[in-house]
Amino acid sequence: MTIVRSELLQGTLDMLVLKILSLEPLHGWGVSERIQQMSGEVFQVNQGSLYPALRRLKRRGWITSEWRVTENNRRARYYALTAAGRKRLAEERQAWARSSAAIEQILQAAH
Amino acid sequence: MRWMVYAVEAFNALFRRGRVEAELEEEVRFHLEMEIEKNLRAGMTPEEARRVALLRFGGVEQVKEEVREESGVRWLEDMLMDLRYAARQLRRNPAFTAVAVLTLALGIGANTAVFSVLHSVILSPLGYHEPGRLVRIYQSHRTYGTDVWVSGPAFLDYREQLEGVESVTAMYNYREMGFTLTGAGSARRVTMLPVSSDFFDVYRVHPVIGRPFVRDEERGSARIAVLSHRLWQAISGDAGVLGQRLELDGDPYEVIGVMPAGFVDVVGGDVDLWVPLELQDENARENRGNHYLSVVARLRPDVTLGQARSRLASLATSQAELYPNQHEDWSAEMVPLRDDLVGASRTMLFVLLGASGLVLLIACVNVASLFLSRNVARERELAVRAAIGAGRFRLTRQLVTESIVIALIGGAAGLALAHWGVGVLLPLSSDAVPRAREVSFDATLFVFALGVTLFTVVIFGLAPALQFVSPELDRSLREDSRTGTGGARSRRVRDVLVTSQVALAILLLIGAGLLMRSLLSLQAVDLGISPRDAMTFQVHLGGPRYADPAARIAFHREYQDRLRAYSGVRAVGAVSKLPVSDQYNSWTFTYLSASGEVMRHGGGADFRVIEGDFFEALNIELLAGRRFGPSDHADAPQVAIVNQSLARRYYEGRDPLGQRIADPSVWTIVGVVADVAHDGRGSVTGKVYLPHAQFGDDRNWALTQIVATTIPRRDLLEIARQELRAIDPQLVIHNPRSMREVTGSAIAQERFVFLLLAIFAAVALSLAAVGIYGVMAYNVGRRTREFGIRLALGASPLAVRRSVLRQGSAIVGIGILGGLVGAFLLSRLLRSMLFGVGATDPLTFVLVPLALASVALLAGYLPARRATKVDPLRVLRQE
């Protein structure tokens, strides 16, 4: 059987990254792995597209970055959520809940 | 907080580029290594693990580029890169850069310089409170002329009866204003202006310390003065100045106030102190024939100029009814003060601005053409860059950046040039431009120069750059550099540019030509005097020693006798106002017959007080009767000499000798002399000459001495000073000018305009010549192979040359035609500045195109000659 893989919904990548970083600081590869695992392998991020998103979130002050040493003793850039990022995540979740509820309602009515 | 993050990011992106790049590199490498390890763990071979990892990541370079885009300062980075690249390009072609910058600097500089004058003189308001409400009032006469100054009683009528004005003031700057100030340190020469007490209300400027005058003090005997800030600073600068006594030409004055710093009296000029105007005496109260006051009024805020004018007109009508003898044929006019000051120079300055605008256009065209030919040379480079992925927008932006860099350097150089140019030109223009003193460099000019610079970018930068939005790039790659033609399109654009350049140059040349013809006719005007060998200067007789008119008369007699004694001195005379330096002392006389019967009331004429051999010194011919002589002394019957115009107008058909003139004292006409002009255009009005010996008690006349001599200027002035010292060591010589300088300053404005326009036209002509040369040389270069083949096939050099010139003459010919049509339409704007030549003067319209055509032929001939020097063998072997 093949897993049906979906493109990430436009604009949701930022929210997912924020969510994942809210759990613990991670490096870029870790974030991409985590998205894939947590979505039950449904979403396959084009891993490269993660990095512009990370740069964008950093520029907006929602995440910070620092170089750390991994458990395997390698240097990697770790990203962490800031207070502003936490607030942003809450806002995005609310907006997401509202719009998905609305979409669900429309789909229900269509039956 | 957020902006700080942003700023740090931007800073890193711009200035710590190396580190940012290295970190990005490391991050991506780490990601790929982790992915590969994961794939290896999943059992892939190393090659496969690597391939899949790269596949899942997407294009590495593409991702990096996307990350860079996210830095938020990409546009800035690009701009800096463009700037660096542009700077490198421009440094690599120093000749190109220098020519382009210099050309633009000329255009921008000329415009900024002219604009700086226009700005200060015409656009900037006068420096007073609500200056728009200030108006100048003149009287005017039906036949005698407009813009006549106001008599004392007429001014008092305005002050008491004119509705719609808040206040109205009179200034007596119709007199010798220079005085010697003593009693405060060393003696100094100062300018004094008597004004009515309303002066301070009209300008809404009051003394910073002390008080202004009041109406009760409007009498000559008041002996009080308000100082200018400058004079106050020069004397003491402290408040103790109030109540201090100063002596002006020996008369004591008490200081009652000091005006604020920066107050400029636009009518009076550089005034050092203001004193009350005498308004109590008979001359001010009764004499309606003596027009000696400058009148300025402030309109009420609720009154328009039109309403004020009609009220002034009705007041003038009632004056004429009340005083038919003095006011018949007289009316009054009101002019906004600024218009009055700027006057005729408005047209001049706008014409100059237009002319400098044309120069700028020509400069832009030249630079555009330079850029075009350089872009053609770079076409292959650009095509290569486009082929390896540079966007068209990006390329265009790069080209425009280069233009902007050139324009900014050119603009800066132009601003410097303008600053220097204004410094050089203003001293030349003092007689030609009003308010010239106020010309200054300020932020407005900087903004103007910047605006002009950006305008030039649009004109010269965009056109060549846009050409590359749709070049046939693949073609330029295929073409080899020798056969490349640069595209028919670019050639057409260049031809059009040169054509328009020629047309613009024609416009300027025609303008300059018309003004030159006008200046030549002005210089040929018969002014009625022959100034070749006459020197003039003034001696002021101030102080108690010369309070008695007899002392002044005696001084002039003795001084002139002493000068006359030198060999080489032909004649010595003096006059109250030199010819060709404007109307002055305009008076209304009553003309009587010999028997005393009134022939004409209130006819205007200028009168002049003369001493010694005035007519002989300037070679003014005596037409009838006699000149004044020693017998016309103070106690003898009063006599006058009139000019031909006056005799003709008021004594038509009669012998003027023996007739009489009254003002109301009565003079008998004893002589008639030829007319002399009062301005550079040869204008003539009636004149009455009165002997100083009989009229010297009227006031302390500031006579100008005229010495007709062959002695060189320097020696003559030395003699004049020496003889002056011998009579009175305290007297000094003022304002020495040759008669030639006097007549020259009468046409100063015309000469100034011509000078500037000639400079502009010369610049335009050389730029156009360079443009023609450039386009011809380019065309010849492009056709080198063709000429080589034609020559090899037996074409004569003459035929080749002709073919080149034919192509050039089409370009120039169309330009000339276009320019002539434009000049025909535009030259009427010059009409008010022209004298003795029509705005469509056929000679100018024929000679100018001929001159330009010859320059064009010359500029085209050199490339044409080169075309025939092509060695067919070499050209063909190059294939």
Q: For every residue of A31-76, which 3-state class applies, written as one string? A: HHHHHHHHCCCCECCCHHHHHHHHHHHHHCCCEEEEEEECCCCCEE
Distance from CA of A41 to the nearest CA of B (A): 14
Distance from CA of A48 to the nearest CA of B (A): 5
Residues of B in contact with A48 (CB under 8 A): 57-60, 62-63, 66
Least confident interval from A48-62, B210-224, B461-475, B486-500: B461-475
What is the C-alpha to C-alpha distance for residues B51 and B518, in angstroms, rounded to an integer? 87
Distance from CA of B29 to the nearest CA of A (A): 10
Chain A CB within 8 Å of residue B52 CB:
no
Distance from CA of B63 to the nearest CA of A (A): 6
Chain A CB within 8 Å of residue B9 CB:
yes
Residue located via tokens 């009209």: B202
Element (H, E) at B555: helix B549-564
- Pick the more confident residue, B786 or B312: B312
- Tens of pLDDT, residue by residue over B5-59, are 667 766 776 677 788 888 888 888 998 898 899 889 988 899 999 998 888 888 7
Distance from CA of A11 to the nearest CA of B (A): 15
Tell me phi and psi for residue A10, to 5 degrees.
Answer: -55, 125
Q: Cβ contact (<8 Å) for A46 and B31?
A: no
Residue A4 in this model has a pLDDT that exceeds 80: no
Distance from CA of A85 to the nearest CA of B (A): 11
What is the C-alpha to C-alpha distance for residues B72 and B6, in angstroms, rounded to an integer? 8
- Tens of pLDDT, residue by residue over B301-343, are 999 999 999 999 999 999 888 888 777 778 899 999 888 887 7
Residues of A in contact with B6 (CB under 8 A): 59, 61
Q: Cβ contact (<8 Å) for B26 and A75?
A: yes
Average pLDDT over residues A43-62: 82
What is the C-alpha to C-alpha distance for residues B159 and B170, in angstroms, rounded to an integer? 9
What per-residue confidence (pLDDT) applies to B464?
A: 65
Chain A CB within 8 Å of residue B1 CB:
yes
Chains A, B: CB contacts under 8 A, how many?
72
Distance from CA of B6 to the nearest CA of A (A): 6
- Pick the more confident residue, B641 or A40: B641
Residues of B in contact with A74 (CB under 8 A): 30, 33
Q: Cβ contact (<8 Å) for A74 and B30?
A: yes
Residues of A in contact with B13 (CB under 8 A): none
Among B604, B690, B591, which Cα is nearest to B148's? B604
> What mean pLDDT value characterizes chain B?
84
**What structural domains and CATH numbers belong to chain A?**
12-109 (1.10.10.10)
Q: Cβ contact (<8 Å) for B31 and A77?
A: no
What per-residue confidence (pLDDT) applies to B483?
A: 45
Query: What's chain B's length in residues?
Result: 879
Residue B450 in this model has a pLDDT that exceeds 50: yes
B464 alpha-carbon distance from chain centroid = 35
Distance from CA of B378 to the nearest CA of A (A): 36
Average pLDDT over residues B608-613: 93
Q: What is the largest CA-CA distance in chain A?
A: 56
Mutate to test the interface with B, among A51, A60, A75, A81 (most CBs of B within 10 A): A51
Q: Chain A: residue nearest B63 by CA?
A: A48
Our separate counts of H helices and E strands in chain A read 4, 3
Three-state DSSP class for residue B539? strand
Distance from CA of A22 to the nearest CA of B (A): 19
Instruction: Indicate the residue of B31, B60, B70 with minimum beta-carbon distance to A52.
Output: B70
Question: DSSP label at B732?
Answer: -
Chain A CB within 8 Å of residue B66 CB:
yes
Element (H, E) at B252: strand B251-258
Among B501, B511, B423, which Cα is nearest to B107's? B501
Chain A CB within 8 Å of residue B25 CB:
no
- Tens of pLDDT, residue by residue over B115-145, are 888 777 777 777 788 888 999 999 987 766 6
Average pLDDT over residues B681-703: 87
Contact B350, B117 (CB under 8 A): no
Element (H, E) at B160: helix B152-161
Residues of A in contact with B30 (CB under 8 A): 27-29, 74-77
Contact A18, A88 (CB under 8 A): yes
Instruction: Quote the tokens at residue B809.
Output: 């003459």
Q: Cβ contact (<8 Å) for B34 and A29?
A: yes
Contact B206, B287 (CB under 8 A): no
Residues of B in contact with A67 (CB under 8 A): 23
Among A34, A25, A13, which Cα is nearest to A96's? A13
Distance from CA of A45 to the nearest CA of B (A): 8
Average pLDDT over residues B229-250: 86
Among B64, B55, B71, which Cα is nearest to B27's? B64
What per-residue confidence (pLDDT) applies to A110?
A: 62
Tell me phi and psi for residue B821, to 5 degrees.
Answer: -60, -45
What per-residue confidence (pLDDT) applies to B301?
A: 93
Chain A CB within 8 Å of residue B28 CB:
yes
Chain A CB within 8 Å of residue B21 CB:
no
Mutate to test the interface with A, among B1, B3, B5 (most CBs of A within 10 A): B5
Residue B478 in this model has a pLDDT that exceeds 60: no
Alpha helices in B783-841 (DSSP H): 784-792, 797-826
- Pick the more confident residue, B221 or B484: B221
Instruction: Quote the tokens at residue B196.
Output: 């009515």
Banded model confidence at residue B1, pLDDT cuts 50, 70, 90: low
Query: What's chain A's length in residues?
Result: 111
Instruction: Indicate the residue of B5, B27, B58 with minimum beta-carbon distance to A46.
Output: B58
What per-residue confidence (pLDDT) applies to B484?
A: 45
Residues of B in contact with A44 (CB under 8 A): 56
Q: Chain B: residue nearest A32 by CA?
A: B31
Instruction: Indicate the residue of B27, B59, B60 with minimum beta-carbon distance to A28.
Output: B27
What per-residue confidence (pLDDT) applies to B587?
A: 76
Distance from CA of B387 to the nearest CA of A (A): 26
Residues of A in contact with B28 (CB under 8 A): 51
Contact B137, B154 (CB under 8 A): no
Q: Chain A: residue nearest B32 by CA?
A: A29
Residues of A in contact with B70 (CB under 8 A): 52, 55-56, 59
Question: DSSP label at B210?
Answer: E
What is the C-alpha to C-alpha distance for residues B2 and A62, in angstroms, rounded to an integer? 9
Contact B111, B355 (CB under 8 A): no
What per-residue confidence (pLDDT) applies to A9?
A: 59
Residues of A in contact with B67 (CB under 8 A): 51-52, 55
Residues of B in contact with A51 (CB under 8 A): 24, 27-28, 63, 66-67
Q: Cβ contact (<8 Å) for B70 and A55?
A: yes
Residues of A in contact with B23 (CB under 8 A): 67, 77
Give domain limits for chain B: 2-72, 145-328, 345-523+748-877, 541-731
Distance from CA of B80 to the nearest CA of A (A): 21
Mutate to test the interface with A, among B67, B68, B69, B76 (most CBs of A within 10 A): B67
What is the C-alpha to C-alpha distance for residues B199 and B205, in angstroms, rounded to an integer? 9
Instruction: Indicate the residue of A27, A32, A84 with minimum beta-carbon distance to B30.
Output: A27
Q: Cβ contact (<8 Å) for A49 and B71?
A: no
Q: Cβ contact (<8 Å) for A47 and B27?
A: no
- Pick the more confident residue, B430 or B313: B313
Residue B620 in this model has a pLDDT that exceeds 90: yes
Tell me phi and psi for residue B83, to 5 degrees.
Answer: -65, -45
- In angstroms, the Cα distances linking B637 to A93, B630, B665 are 116, 12, 11
What is the C-alpha to C-alpha distance for residues B764 and B359, in angstroms, rounded to an integer? 6
What per-residue confidence (pLDDT) applies to B238?
A: 84
CA-based radius of gyration for chain B: 38
Average pLDDT over residues B608-630: 93
- Pick the more confident residue, A19 or B239: A19
Three-state DSSP class for residue B336? strand
What per-residue confidence (pLDDT) applies to B479?
A: 52
Chain A CB within 8 Å of residue B59 CB:
yes
